[in-house]
């Protein structure tokens, strides 16, 4: 009887730390896995950075396009209208072309 109590204590003194280490290793593994590939992990962060880069490129292109159009509108609104731009707009609006112009029809 005394021998079984000693064996149980030794088994308990060995298994309890092993069980705690196993549980703590599982918890750490779970958190590391979530940090890598969870909803807010490193993979999601990389994907968001790629998406942000693409959106910044699109924003830069839109800003450049807007600057071009603002410049063209400023030329039409100034006191002295740019003759080339006025002629181009008049041809587009009236559907007329000059005899020396090359017309490319875009379907």
Residue 107, in any domain of the structure: no
Residue 8, in any domain of the structure: yes
pLDDT at position 8 = 78
User: Whole domain around residue 51: which residue ranges?
Assistant: 2-94
Which tens digits make up the pLDDT trace of 27-63? 999 999 988 888 888 888 999 999 999 999 999 999 9
Identify the CA nearest to 30 among candidates 44, 41, 18: 41
Residue 45, in any domain of the structure: yes
The alpha helices in 38-96, defined as continuous H runs, are 42-77, 83-94
pTM above 0.75, yes or no: no
Residue 42, in any domain of the structure: yes
Number of domains the chain is built from: 1
pLDDT at position 28 = 96
Residue 77, in any domain of the structure: yes
Residue 105, in any domain of the structure: no
Residue 79, in any domain of the structure: yes
């Amino acid at each position: 009887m005394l021998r079984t109590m000693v064996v149980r204590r030794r088994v308990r003194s060995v298994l309890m730390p092993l069980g705690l280490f196993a549980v703590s290793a599982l918890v750490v593994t779970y958190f590391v896995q979530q940090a890598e590939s969870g909803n807010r992990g490193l993979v999601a962060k990389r994907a968001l950075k790629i998406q942000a880069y693409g959106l910044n490129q699109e924003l830069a292109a839109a800003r450049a396009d807007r600057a071009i159009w603002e410049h063209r509108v400023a030329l039409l609104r100034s006191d002295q209208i740019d003759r080339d731009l006025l002629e181009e707009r008049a041809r587009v609006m009236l559907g007329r072309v000059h005899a020396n112009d090359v017309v490319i029809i875009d379907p």
